[in-house]
Amino acid sequence: METPRTLTEAAEALRAGAVTSVALTERAIETADRLDGELGTYLARFDEAALAAAERADRELAAGRDRGPLHGVPFGVKDIIAVAEGPTTAQSLVLDPAWGAGRDAPVAARLKAAGAVITGKATTMEFACGMPDFGKPFPVPRNPWNTGTWAGGSSSGTGSGVAAGMFYAGLGTDTAGSIRIPAAFCGITGLMPTFGRVPKSGVAPLGYSLDHVGPMARSARDCAAVMDAIAGAHPSDPDSVDLPYEPPVLDGTLDGVRIGVVREHHFPDGHDPAVGPAYDAALGVLAAKGAVLTEITLPYWYEMLMANVVTLGSEALAYHRNDLSARWDDYGDATRATLARAAAVTGADYVQAQRVRRVAQDAVARLFDDLDVIVAPTTSAGAPRYDDIVPDEGPIDVGGVFTYIHTMYWDCVGNPVLAAPMGTTAGGLPLSIQFAGPAWGEAAILRAADAYQTATDWHLRVPPTS
């Protein structure tokens, strides 16, 4: 049979008896054997445990015990999320190996309860915060579409692993864009749920009030399947909210759906010339599906970018200060720069950032009084070349990397946002569109993105390395 291309295709094939979980897992392992050395997708592989889980899934499915669409499907987990089979490093020399050892984070436990076959821990940026560091003893995550370019971060390995076929879906985390950036650069789909929708306990923190755990996979339909398994409050995460998660209606139509179209701030000087035409083509698809499009602007744009810098930096420095003071050289250059600059933020600055976040949240909520979905480009360029972002000498310009990345705003207001492939640059690197919804409105954006993907095939294209 043909290899299933998506998680949902794999789930259908498993139930049709066209493939076994063991066969899918063996194929995932073979792909990792072939490509992981070049792509730097994994920090740890759980081949034996994964095959055992796959055998168990096959036995259960044969016996009629069906745990849902994740059952028997190979799945990767970002290495800031605790999984019992192996250590969590956060791609850092600093994190105590005893942290979370032998335990599953609540979100990982939910994946296992849903029957997912966890194949290993995927690479990240250091503590989900830094940039690739060639001087540290960890794999450098490379983009399967062009290994000279960055896979995006910080959920780098989850992005490259899905794109290259090492697993069908994975977990990422998003504090300033870390699900949506690698999804965009690797040509896959990634969903940052509403803040509080998925428990983040058992996940090494970056910004306590900004961190979101969410799925990365080929399609919106795949992400919806993962959300069914991981959404819901957990008593160990005081930010998680006990609201019912409504599965989306994926009927391929958008009749009368009101979509706000954002252009302002998303086409900076030097943006890739392919982004505008790709975005216009995507808008044409949405209109042809019946959506009603209205041009809008996002309120408090610069203020939310700054509020993210203040909040992330302060919350992260509080967590890291003792280690950073004692082990400066063990941290990577970019992580040091991000954390150290927060030393110049005052307590009043932090509180003021939270006051402005409240104002912006309210303004965004009012936008959704008249809209169902908001769309915007995820980035205004394809994946950057390592030669351009990692200098031979001196610190990395972390801020410069974000000139063409438009994700931070949404972390600060907490709304759910899905990034989906929408075309390529002239050089063949993926481009991406974001679908944002009202708080707790994952169903709306999954429906819109799924309708878009029923009319396009960007999400199904595979990179040359795979």
Catalytically active residues are 78, 154, 178
How many whole angstroms separate alpha carbon 109 and alpha carbon 128?
21
Smallest gap from Cβ 197 to another protein, in A, equals 15
Residue in the block written with tokens 């400066």:
328
Smallest gap from Cβ 309 to another protein, in A, equals 7
Query: In the set 44, 52, 243, 359, which binds another protein (CB under 8 A)?
Result: 359
Query: Which CB atom, from 102 or from 148, has the smaller least distance to another protein?
Result: 102
Q: List the Cα angle 15/5/154 in 5-degree steps.
A: 115
- Is residue 103 a contact point for another protein (CB under 8 A)? yes
CA 341 to chain centre: 25
Element (H, E) at 176: none
- Is residue 403 a contact point for another protein (CB under 8 A)? no
Query: In the set 1, 63, 98, 344, which binds another protein (CB under 8 A)?
Result: 344
Query: 267 burial class (0-12, 13-18, 19+ CB within 10 angstroms)?
Result: middle
- Is residue 431 a contact point for another protein (CB under 8 A)? no
How many whole angstroms separate alpha carbon 423 and alpha carbon 420?
10
Query: In the set 307, 418, 433, 449, which binds another protein (CB under 8 A)?
Result: 307
- Is residue 349 a contact point for another protein (CB under 8 A)? yes
- Is residue 447 a contact point for another protein (CB under 8 A)? no
Query: Which CB atom, from 34 or from 341, has the smaller least distance to another protein?
Result: 341
3-state secondary structure labels for all residues of 101-160: CCCCCHHHHHHHHCCCEEEEEECCCHHHCCCCCCCCCCCCCEECCEEEEECCCCCHHHHH
In 3D, which of 270, 267, 292, 268 has the Cα closest to residue 279? Answer: 267
Query: 348 burial class (0-12, 13-18, 19+ CB within 10 angstroms)?
Result: exposed
Listed ranges 108-116, 168-176, 179-187, 245-253: which one lies at the site for another protein (CB under 8 A): 108-116
Interface pattern 275-304 for another protein (x via CB under 8 A): -------------------------x-xx-
How many whole angstroms separate alpha carbon 466 and alpha carbon 463?
6
Smallest gap from Cβ 100 to another protein, in A, equals 8
Query: Which CB atom, from 62 or from 343, has the smaller least distance to another protein?
Result: 343
Smallest gap from Cβ 434 to another protein, in A, equals 22
- Is residue 98 a contact point for another protein (CB under 8 A)? no
Interface pattern 225-244 for another protein (x via CB under 8 A): -------x-xxxxx------
- Is residue 258 a contact point for another protein (CB under 8 A)? no
Structure tokens at 262: 């954002």
How many whole angstroms separate alpha carbon 431 and alpha carbon 382?
6
In 3D, which of 402, 404, 434 has the Cα closest to residue 261? Answer: 434
How many whole angstroms separate alpha carbon 60 and alpha carbon 44?
27
Query: Which CB atom, from 85 or from 104, has the smaller least distance to another protein?
Result: 104
Query: Which CB atom, from 341 or from 461, has the smaller least distance to another protein?
Result: 341
Residue in the block written with tokens 């899934």:
57
> Residue type for 380, please?
S
Smallest gap from Cβ 111 to another protein, in A, equals 11
Number of residues that bind another protein (CB under 8 A): 54
How many whole angstroms separate alpha carbon 15 and alpha carbon 238?
38
- Is residue 318 a contact point for another protein (CB under 8 A)? no
Structure tokens at 158: 């989850």
- Is residue 53 a contact point for another protein (CB under 8 A)? no
Smallest gap from Cβ 399 to another protein, in A, equals 7
Listed ranges 34-42, 85-93, 106-114, 429-437: which one lies at the site for another protein (CB under 8 A): 106-114
Query: 251 burial class (0-12, 13-18, 19+ CB within 10 angstroms)?
Result: exposed
Query: Which CB atom, from 249 or from 351, has the smaller least distance to another protein?
Result: 351
Smallest gap from Cβ 142 to another protein, in A, equals 26
CA distance readout (Å), 214 to 54, 224, 341, 416: 23, 10, 28, 10
Listed ranges 57-65, 248-256, 264-272, 330-338: which one lies at the site for another protein (CB under 8 A): 330-338
Which 164-223 residues touch another protein, going by CB under 8 A? 199, 201-202, 209
- Is residue 328 a contact point for another protein (CB under 8 A)? yes
Contact residues toward another protein (CB under 8 A) are 100, 103-106, 109-110, 113, 199, 201-202, 209, 232, 234-238, 300, 302-303, 305-307, 309-310, 317, 321-322, 324-325, 328, 333, 336-337, 340-341, 343-345, 349, 351-359, 361, 394-395, 399
